Amino acid sequence: MAETDVRRVGLSGKKRAGSDDVDCDDYMSSKKALVTMPPSWEDPVAVLANSRHEFGEHGGVNMSIEASATFTVMEPETMRRMFSGELGPDRDFFVYSRHFNPTVLNLGRQMAALEGTEAAYCMSSGMAAISSVLLQLVSSGGHVVASRSLYGGTHALLTHFFPRACNITTTFVDLGDLEMVKEAMVEGRTKVLYFESMSNPTLLVANVPELSRIAHDKGVMVVVDNTFAPMVISPARLGADVVVHSISKFISGGADIIAGAVCGPASLVNSMMDLHQGALMLLGPTMNAKVAFELAERIPHLGLRMKEHCHRALTYATRMKKMGLKVIYPGLDDHPDHSLLKSLANKDYGYGGLLCLDMETEDRANRLMNHLQNFTQFGFMAVSLGYHETLMSCSGSSTSSEMNAEEKALAGISPGLVRMSIGYSGTLEQRWGQFEKALNRIQDSGVFPKN
């Protein structure tokens, strides 16, 4: 199928009635309206506010849900024209929801606005987004350069699955060593430089502009996972080619949906949806339209939620540091990437909603989390992040358990590293009081490693 420009998908509000003929005047005026829409590079919330609002079919302030798996045509010849690429979603012609669905496309427009990219498409999980975009960009025999500090599932994908199933190899590097990054790229073979804007779980901040410059000098595409820092960092504005998300986290905010997104050039998104060679089209990690509707209703208040997540994380990290705890948070002056993050971050959104406490041993980490959940109700022992309640996990034995001891050591993951996704339920002082109360319940004064 010929490529479809996702930036124009579903622009026309005109519904087809008794004919499949295209009203070119309506189509072109809708296209012009989008092209002339003033973008803002200052604030992601401003970009979202300037993006197109999709009204419901009968004038509702919320869009309608297109729950159909397949779509009818009014004339027999139309189906042939759709499959040949003559007609597509850009003119309100849809074939099948594994390909394009109007409700999912609208969520994609929101994600593209959020990340400042030409296009975006949403799918069933964050890992679906990561694996699909890498498979689209890297062929058998290809090579990836990636950060040592990655989410455990991504690390396993690159370390084990890709070499075995796809003949794709990866070299892991210290992102802070730019010369090491440069030397790891093999001319003509390395296709992607992959990293997280803020690493999971170590909260290292990637120098996106410099890393992008190095990669582009070598003809390498830059793919950045921005799951930890929506609103806070905008990788595409800093030079990255593609931004991926686990929408399940901060963007969803409810810990009730699994979803992912790829944000990038329209040509890439279109190629991923190609009928014959598209990773998304052929592997089929389709997002349900009802899920897309729910997520689209949450994105407008993402900015408000992120500000509160980040505000509380900074407040707690500052207080924990004063208590002598070994806290890791890029908003603190002593964090090695604090100045870098200040130079990259979008103004007024803070430094991220996660912090880490290094308890050095798993036993100490477990004792801390047990008291925080079961005695004072400060938060929940659970993986994931971005929920309105604080979620805590010992990364080495949970979300990074796919890595061996040497890989964890290289990534800087201590056996007792407690990752906290700071929530915003209750009042700040109420939750801080619960944290202090948990500390007071622990009688062993040596349980907390000191700075």
Instruction: Please state, in angstroms and rounded to a whole number, the distance separating the CA atoms of residues 424 and 428.
Output: 7
Nearest residue to 119 (alpha-carbon basis) of 128, 127, 111, 131: 111
Token pair, residue 37, equals 């829409």
Predicted local confidence at residue 201, as pLDDT = 93
Token pair, residue 225, equals 């996972």
Under 8 Å between Cβ of 73 and 262: no
Q: Could you please report the per-residue DSSP string of 160-211? A: IIIIIII--EEEEE-TT-HHHHHHHPPTTTEEEEEEESB-TTT--B--HHHH
What's this model's pTM, rounded to 2 decimal places?
Answer: 0.88
Under 8 Å between Cβ of 63 and 106: yes
Nearest residue to 73 (alpha-carbon basis) of 21, 8, 120, 138: 21
User: DSSP alpha helices (H): ranges in 89-188?
Assistant: 102-115, 126-137, 152-156, 178-184
Predicted local confidence at residue 59, as pLDDT = 85
How would you classify the pairing of strands 169-173 and 119-123?
unpaired
Predicted local confidence at residue 440, as pLDDT = 86
Predicted local confidence at residue 334, as pLDDT = 96
Instruction: Please state, in angstroms and rounded to a whole number, the distance separating the CA atoms of residues 280 and 100.
Output: 10
Angle subtended at Cα 30 by Cα 28 and Cα 35, rounded to the nearest 5 degrees: 90
Which residue ranges in the chain fall short of pLDDT 70? Answer: 1-42, 396-397, 399-400, 443-451
Decide: residue 100, CB within 10 A, 0-12 exposed, 13-18 middle, 19+ buried.
buried
